[in-house]
Amino acid sequence: MAKITYIEHDGTEHAIDVKTGLSVMEGAVKNNIPGIDADCGGACACATCHVYVDEAWLAKTGERTAMEESMLDFAEGVAENSRLSCQIRVTDDLDGLRVTMPESQH
Amino acid sequence: MSEPAAHVVILGAGHAGGTAAALLRQYGHAGPITLVGEEPIAPYQRPPLSKAWLKGEADADSLALKPLEFYAEHDIDFRPGVRAESLNRGARTVGLSDGATVSYDALILATGARAIALPIAGKDLAGVMSLRTAADAEALKAAIGPGKTLAVVGGGYIGLEVAASGRALGAEVVVLEKEDRLLARVACPQLSDFFQGYHQTRGVRFELGCSVTGFEGKDGHVTGVTLADGRTLACDAVVVGVGAHPNDELAKDAGLECARGVVVDLDARSVTDPAVFAIGDVAHRPMPIYERMFRMESVPNALEQAKQAASAIVGRPRPAGECPWQWSDQYDLKLQIAGYAFDTTEILVRGDPAAAKFAIFHLKGDQVQSVEAINAPPEFMMGKLLILSRKPVNKAKLADPSISMKEVAA
């Protein structure tokens, strides 16, 4: 279990306990957090689960995969700390993770 | 209809219905929500049933759209194992199979589509299956494995995904298709050829232009598929994937205008009755970028229409128009399709099919109508934007993979 704080574009925070083994995307979707659409359900096919990872957590969340990299390249408002949240697997090490959602997922 | 106490009744607890219920709460709808589903379990994702789930790479929890507790916690009256049997639009009531009658202020029809069954001998034998529900997928998973032979009737996306998963599980697989190529209804010949070659290399056998006349069985269980040319192909299980039919009978009986599904406007609202919406596989909806109406069977469509209906009910602005899309995973291939190839004048291939990394662009003049991208996310992502913008493209640049998609679209 890891507590993850999802921050909407307008600053609204949602702190959620997410089960180890789920993805950061699944943690948001299963708790009905607005701002992560995840149209493809985690198949890395749509880039609608884009988040900005808090700088302090970048190393722990790992590297972008090749497929993720090329999907993200075309998402709106991409930054150095952009990730597709379906590609970040939740571990106990991510307890305290903070991610912020972009203004739009399209 | 944005009065706060409005009772929203959703018929169908699939991807569309489940999403609409959750979005209504996310958008702040305070009135009662009733979600009625024929299946015994809470809304779940169907795409993995032929892919990751079938191969054992995803469990039931990960299929669920939301945990079961979600519905009670968010005051959604979820009624599993119940069908809607009648709709009285005058009284605004729905009669359910458990004898209950529920009244609504807004009704969302999300009844989906059902697999078309072949009306041929032996169709009711054990081991002759379709793949639509989690229960179907359980039955299929139990029937395939090393030493088993799986016959797939229908060379569409579901058939090919099942074939790939069947091979991954060690089964022999033969695909029977009545047209002379795979994916005949949904893809161009170039893509059909590519998939056929890729599957053949991985041990799938194909019988194209082949008419299935019946299923043979022993002790009530299927043992073979009979063909019009007189042959019988032995098998242990059959999956029939020959298309789906919208579950629009309730709507038709209630006098709602239906074409290939319930006819709705850009808010997913019935053109006959403003209190009724239809979303997902059961809806026949407008798609402005193609200046026409049609019915789609895809998760992105279900989600988009759930957004449209939930927005209209709570009085939010209508979501911006989307580019329809879908995906398929087979072996190590990721196929992403954007748009539909309507009215096309030209097909342009970018990249190398032999390297399993390419995209097929369907053009109408110099506008992109659709793109089918194999392991080619930039082509898919940029293709989607080009389809939506209707911006003309430079075809010479588009055909040259050494020029990046960003530059092509610049």
- Is B332-409 in the same CATH topology as B8-114+245-314? no
Give the three-class secondary structure for B114.
strand
Mean pLDDT value across residues B56-71:
89
CA distance A61 to chain B (A): 21
Q: What is the pLDDT of residues B137-175, one digit of tens each?
A: 999 999 999 999 999 999 999 999 999 999 999 999 999
Q: Are B26 and A32 in contact (CB under 8 A)?
A: yes
Write the CB contacts of B11 (distance below 8 Å, at least 6 apart in sequence). B17, B36, B84, B94, B107, B108, B109, B110, B111, B250
Q: Are B343 and B362 in contact (CB under 8 A)?
A: no
Query: Of A34, A37, A74, which is closest to B382 when you measure between CB atoms?
Result: A74
Q: Of B309, B301, B271, B243, nearest to B11 (Cα)?
A: B309
Q: What is the pLDDT of residues A51-78, one digit of tens each?
A: 999 999 999 999 999 889 989 988 889 9
Tell me, yes or no, if A20 comes closer than 8 A to chain B by beta carbon.
no
Parallel, antiparallel or unpaired: strands A2-7 and A13-18: antiparallel
Backbone dihedral region for residue B389 (phi beyond 0: left; psi -120 to 50: alpha; all else: beta): alpha
Distance CA B97, CA B125 (A): 27
pLDDT of B2 > 80? The answer is no
Q: Token pair of B318, please?
A: 């209508």
Q: Which domains can be identified in chain A, with CATH numbers?
A: 2-105 (3.10.20.30)
pLDDT of B1 > 60? The answer is no
Average model confidence (pLDDT) for chain B? 95
Q: What is the pLDDT of residues B346-371, one digit of tens each?
A: 999 999 999 999 999 999 999 999 99
Q: Token pair of B67, please?
A: 């945990």
Tell me, yes or no, if A40 comes closer than 8 A to chain B by beta carbon.
yes
Mean pLDDT value across residues B56-82:
92
Distance CA B410, CA B404 (A): 10
pLDDT at B3: 65
φ and ψ of A84, to 5 deg: -90, 120
Q: Are B107 and B262 in contact (CB under 8 A)?
A: no
Helices (H), B348-394: 377-389
Question: Torsion over CA of B216, B53, A105 and B374, rounded to 10 degrees?
Answer: -60
pLDDT of B408 > 90? The answer is yes
Q: Are B89 and B254 in contact (CB under 8 A)?
A: yes
pLDDT of B410 > 90? The answer is no
Mean pLDDT value across residues A32-56:
92
Q: Which residue has the tokens 């096309």?
A: B344
pLDDT of B19 > 90? The answer is yes
Give the three-class secondary structure for B74.
coil
Q: Could you say which DSSP state residue B240 is in? A: E
Q: What is the pLDDT of residues B170-189, one digit of tens each?
A: 999 999 999 999 999 889 99
pLDDT of B394 > 70? The answer is yes
* More confident position, A39 or B218: B218
Q: Which CATH class is domain B8-114+245-314?
A: alpha beta
pLDDT band at B248 (very low <50, low <70, confident <90, very high): very high
pLDDT of A40 > 70? The answer is yes
Q: Which residue has the tokens 């359900």?
A: A41
Distance CA B241, CA B162 (A): 9
Mean pLDDT value across residues B268-273:
98
Contact check, Cβ <8 Å, A41/B299: yes
Contact check, Cβ <8 Å, B378/A26: no
Q: What is the pLDDT of residues A9-27, one digit of tens each?
A: 999 999 999 999 999 999 9
From residue B68, give the alpha-carbon distance in Å to each of A28, B77, B80, B118, B320: 15, 12, 11, 35, 31
Tell me, yes or no, if A74 comes closer than 8 A to chain B by beta carbon.
yes
Q: What is the pLDDT of residues B80-138, one digit of tens each?
A: 999 999 999 999 999 999 999 999 999 999 999 999 999 999 999 999 999 999 999 99
Distance CA A1, CA B3 (A): 40
Distance CA A61, CA A85 (A): 10
Neighbour order of strands in the sheet with A2-7? A13-18, A2-7, A98-100, A50-53, A82-84
Contact check, Cβ <8 Å, A37/B303: yes
Tell me, yes or no, if B333 comes closer than 8 A to chain A by beta carbon.
no
Neighbour order of strands in the sheet with B128-129? B128-129, B237-240, B149-153, B172-176, B204-207
pLDDT band at B60 (very low <50, low <70, confident <90, very high): confident
Which residues in chain B have Cβ-Cβ distances shorter than 8 Å to A29?
A: 65-66
Q: Are A14 and A31 in contact (CB under 8 A)?
A: yes
Q: Token pair of B121, please?
A: 């001998």
Pick the CATH number of B332-409 from 2.60.40.10, 3.40.1190.20, 3.30.390.30, 3.40.50.300: 3.30.390.30
Q: What is the pLDDT of residues B312-345, one digit of tens each?
A: 999 999 999 899 999 999 999 999 999 999 999 9
Contact check, Cβ <8 Å, B67/A74: no
Contact check, Cβ <8 Å, A46/B325: yes
**Terminal-to-terminal C-alpha distance of chain A:** 30
Pick the CATH number of B128-242 from 3.50.50.60, 3.40.50.300, 3.50.30.30, 2.60.40.1180: 3.50.50.60
Domain residue limits, chain B:
8-114+245-314, 128-242, 332-409
pLDDT at A43: 86
Q: Could you say which DSSP state residue B165 is in? A: H
CA B178 from chain centre, in angstroms, equals 21
φ and ψ of B14, to 5 deg: -95, -155
Distance CA B23, CA B17 (A): 10
Write the CB contacts of B377 (distance below 8 Å, at least 6 apart in sequence). A67, A70, A71, A73, A74, B334, B336
Tell me how many residue pairs between chain A and chain B have CB atoms under 8 A apart.
60
pLDDT band at B54 (very low <50, low <70, confident <90, very high): confident
Query: Of A32, A39, A75, which is closest to B22 when you measure between CB atoms?
Result: A32
